[in-house]
Amino acid sequence: MNKVIVHLKKWLLTGTYLCMASIVYAADLPIKFTLDWKFQGPQAAYLVAEAKGYFKEAGIDITIDAGNGSSGSVTRVAGGAYDIGFADINSLIDFVAKNPDQKLKAIFIVYDAPPFAAMTLKKSGIKKPQDLVGKKLGAPVFDSGRKLWPAFAKANSIDVNSVSWESVKPALRETLLVRGGSYDAITGFYFTSYLNLKAAGAKDEDIVSFLYSDYGVHLYGNAIIATDAFLEKNSEKVKGFLGAVVKGWKDTLANPDEAIAFLKKKDALIKSDVEKSRLLLAIKSNVLTDDVKTNGLGDINENRLAQSIQEVVMSLKSPRVPAVSEVFNGSFLPAKSDRMLP
């Protein structure tokens, strides 16, 4: 009899532990989050949220990994290798247009303006977008600014075929422009190409930049993305995730130096001054837009997104035009009052 009671106690005790373990698991949901690129200044806000415990407070056991490009982030999330991603919404639009059965959504806009830009040097004589006609542009074949050139060209009444392209490795793009002789201008992410041009010897006053968002292009930039299946299964945790992201970005905007310090802890090889400059350029050009100052972080204007979908489909020759509801789901956003900046 005593043996039976002992075994019963062990079973109950084990059962209690199992029950407690399941509760802990439910509260601290493991989420794998992939960035679009390596750990740089514009990615620091997520490390701030991790380091300050904002994800933990939301019941999330976060893992943040570097990425290998926005298209890679889209496929990582679509394929289930990652739960949530940070990726160019324009890559997402093209993916959704080509794969209507793979339900994938943007749920939070981070870059209200895209970082794409055409850039040159004053010595080229190029002073306005129309001066690019007849010129040669350098960029990798996968560069988003190059792929979405038709949208920029159309917005500025430029024949899309009036420029020629030189394919170049990313590491050489800005250096060859500064050296001269290879091409007249480049396309790239503004906050990266600008710093690379300076590192290659160009002075601030020598650099001429045409940000797509300043020249009639309606595109959004990078966003937080996830599959419908993950969103439906983990709706409350997703809301908590976005709440943590908002806190991380607010802290980053308020104290960029602190954000870069957390970035340095993640990757000791970064150059803090360079990454702070990259972060500040991204904040000024892509994050803190007039729309964000008025409406808060994360949301969209439906008419603008509809226009941007049209621009992406035209530029990339996507097979169909997805509806706004196929691309963006704003139901997980924190309240507008929480997303407003001080």
pLDDT in tens, 222-281: 999 999 999 999 999 999 999 999 999 999 999 999 999 999 999 999 999 999 999 999
The whole-angstrom distance between residue 296's C-alpha and the CA centroid of its chain comes to 17
Whether pLDDT at 23 is above 50? no
Whether pLDDT at 8 is above 70? no
- Indicate whether 104 and 165 sit together in one domain: no
In-domain check, residue 12: no
DSSP H helices in 267-323: 272-282, 290-295, 302-316
pLDDT of residue 62: 98
- Indicate whether 252 and 161 sit together in one domain: no
Total count of residues recorded for the chain: 342
In-domain check, residue 13: no
- Indicate whether 203 and 231 sit together in one domain: no
Handedness of CA 286, 290, 293, 298 (dihedral sign): negative
Question: Of all residues in the chain, what percent carry a pLDDT higher than 70?
Answer: 92
Mean pLDDT for all residues in the chain: 93
Helix (H, G, I), strand (E, B) or coil at 39: coil
Whether pLDDT at 7 is above 50? no
The whole-angstrom distance between residue 254's C-alpha and the CA centroid of its chain comes to 20
CATH number of the domain where residue 85 is located: 3.40.190.10
Which region holds residue 69: left if phi is over 0, alpha if psi is between -120 and 50, else beta?
left
pLDDT of residue 227: 98
Whether pLDDT at 103 is above 90? yes
- Indicate whether 188 and 331 sit together in one domain: no
Q: Which of 161, 185, 214 is the last residue of a domain?
A: 214
Structure tokens at 189: 């992410």
- Indicate whether 249 and 333 sit together in one domain: yes
Domain range spanning residue 201?
A: 116-214
Helix (H, G, I), strand (E, B) or coil at 84: strand
Whole-number Å distance between alpha carbons of 32 and 237: 13
Whether pLDDT at 5 is above 50? no
Helix (H, G, I), strand (E, B) or coil at 88: strand
- Looking at the structure of the chain, the number of domains it has is 2
Give residues with Cβ within 8 angstroms of 181, minimum separation 6.
none
In sequence order, what are the beta bridge partners of 142? none
- Indicate whether 86 and 176 sit together in one domain: no
In-domain check, residue 22: no
Q: Which of 214, 234, 268 is the last residue of a domain?
A: 214
DSSP secondary structure of 214-274? GTT-----EEEEEEHHHHHHTHHHHHHHHHHHHHHHHHHHH-HHHHHHHHHHH-TTS-HHH
DSSP secondary structure of 126-147? --SGGGGTT-EEEE-TT-HHHH
Question: Of all residues in the chain, what percent carry a pLDDT higher than 90?
Answer: 91
Q: Which of 195, 214, 233 is the last residue of a domain?
A: 214
- Indicate whether 166 and 273 sit together in one domain: no
